[in-house]
Amino acid sequence: MWWLVFDVNGERCVWLEDAPDMVQARFKATMAGSKGSFLEGHELDRKTAKKVPNDLVGRILRNPEAMRLLKKLG
């Protein structure tokens, strides 16, 4: 699973995508409607990825929602 960070109108937003590599994760995010400029991406290890709720995968997470998830994963 990939933690992709985009700049959407000056706000950093996160998109979580399940894919074997970052290129495919970015492609899937783009095809699903992610907006903004890609900034960075990080692969989540298997143990961390299992903690991510399914309803957060494949959609944009604004900063407050992403921060809550980070605390949960921490």
pLDDT digits (tens, 9 = 90+) for 44-69: 999 999 999 999 999 999 999 999 99
pLDDT tens, residue by residue, 12-30: 999 999 999 999 999 999 9
Domain range spanning residue 27? Answer: 2-73
**pLDDT value at 11 more than 90:** yes
Distance in angstroms (rounded) separating the CA atoms of residues 11 and 24: 23
**What single letter denotes the amino acid at residue 58?**
G
**What single letter denotes the amino acid at residue 72?**
K
Four-residue CA torsion sign, 11, 39, 48, 52: positive
Q: Which two tokens stand for residue 29?
A: 């995010």
**pLDDT value at 74 more than 90:** no
Query: Into how many domains does the chain fold?
Result: 1
pTM, 2 dp: 0.92
